[in-house]
Amino acid sequence: MAATPLIPVILCGGTGTRLWPLSRASYPKQYWPLSGDGDATLLQQTQQRLEGLEGLSAPLLICNEDHRFIVAEQMRQLGVEPHAILLEPVGRNTAPAVTVAALQATANGNNPLLLVLAADNFIRDAKQFRTAVTAGRLAAENGRLVAFGIIPKTPETGYGYIEAARAFDAGALQDVPIIRFVEKPDRATAEQFLTTGRFTWNSGMFLFQAGAMLAELERLAPEMVSYCRAALEPDRVDMGFLRLEKTVFAKCPNVAIDVAVMEKTELGSVLPLDAGWSDVGSWSALWETSDRDPDGNVLQGRVIAQGSSNCYLRSEHRLIVGLGVENLVVVETDDAVLIADRSQTQAIKSVVNRLEADGSSEGKAHRKVYRPWGYYTGITEGNRWQVKRISVKSGASLSLQMHHHRAEHWVVVKGTALVERDGNEQLVGENQSTYIPMGCKHRLSNPGRIPVELIEIQSGEYLGEDDILRFEDHYCRDDPKK
């Protein structure tokens, strides 16, 4: 008898501001390689650790509309064709996301198992994780809503807890009915929890039949189900992405699936998991989960640590030298450097809030900005001019566009570009250049097999990204800034 299909539902929302300056709203932590496990990002590792599960189907991913091409590209790099990529027009927490996933999975009368995962979690022991998922299948197939609870090693106050009906048997992978969910406790309460043997950390990972969860949602949150169903009804498939209708979806309550269903249902079970899990919620948490050298240091990129201990030192571009320092986090990016005591890294979110309140670009975006056709990097700028480096993927092209307030000069440094100017096309090779005057209708394409790289010099009275009038766009973008 064939196994019940298992569809991973990977939730890709969140901005990970506590991992600033690397993680920002334009490119959050789930899309970065953070664990030191090769070049795989947290999202890609989430998909990779599923390999070998019985009945595994293509994943259903739910992400911010702004990140859709990043998600699609990272799945393409793995050779994975998603079941669907659902685009949230606004963030509404995990309950609406799980609801649209359940509706999508049951649309054709099917009732698969859904394995709900966060794209930004780290799990050291992938084999043990798969063993736990397999152990939870029977309960889920019998209608239970299974939560994976992390066996606590310390009385953490930054996590929510799940209380089971009885203490877990040592080493046993068996689900136990849930008594209650507890929000982040104080330390004394957390210490008391650990003495009972009944409490686990709430990982936010769940396993259940799509139909069973949908039935509980209909009973406990019928209005939300109605909004989600209406947001899915229009035929809004766009380049393989499924767009949720914004006006209706925005009416959904901003609530977690724990609060909407798991705290109220009588079908909840918790299954203990001990697989080296972390939500990578801060630089100190990342230091704790990473492999360290004999001096307790985690070193990433161009780093020299001499006489230093228990530090996290990460360079994305420039050389970092740590001499005789202890317990520091130093993270260098193209436009910002973080220097913090490891004990203070939870306060980074307040710094990001301050940057955003000041309107500082470093609060939300990097100089390197990803687009569906490739990326551009801001190099330098002055009064009425700026310089960018542009990279266009093989076979890709920018939109056919025009600027009202600026002219551009392109110098190709790698590959061959096809340039269209007011209906005329020309090939521009390495060490060649072309000029795009203000008001010229133009497009840049890459007809070759290697990326095209060029230097763009802009000049004019206004250089904002919203000075783009698009006439044709392969990527169906409405916002000129994207």
pLDDT at 480: 67
Other CB atoms within 10 A of residue 343 CB: 10
- Single out the residue of 151, 142, 264 nearest to residue 197, CA to CA: 151
- Single out the residue of 80, 79, 78, 100 nearest to residue 13, CA to CA: 100
pLDDT at 438: 96
Domain boundaries, the chain: 6-278, 284-349, 368-472
Looking at the whole model, is its pTM more than 0.75?
yes
Largest CA distance in the chain: 76
Question: Under CATH, to which class is 368-472 assigned?
Answer: mainly beta
95 within 8 A of 224, measured Cβ to Cβ: yes
pLDDT band at 36 (very low <50, low <70, confident <90, very high): low
Q: Dump pLDDT digits (tens) for 52-63.
A: 999 999 999 999
**Mean of per-residue pLDDT scores for the chain:** 93
Q: Dump pLDDT digits (tens) for 403-441.
A: 999 999 999 999 999 999 999 999 999 999 999 999 999
pLDDT at 14: 82
Q: Dump pLDDT digits (tens) for 147-189.
A: 999 999 899 888 999 999 999 987 778 899 999 999 999 999 9
Span 368-380, average pLDDT: 91
Using the predicted structure, report yes or no on whether residue 8 has a pLDDT greater than 90: yes
Q: Is the dihedral of CA 370, 376, 379, 381 positive or negative?
A: negative
CATH 3.90.550.10 fits 6-278, yes or no: yes
- Single out the residue of 416, 421, 411, 409 nearest to residue 392, CA to CA: 416
Strands 424-428 and 417-421, how do they pair?
antiparallel
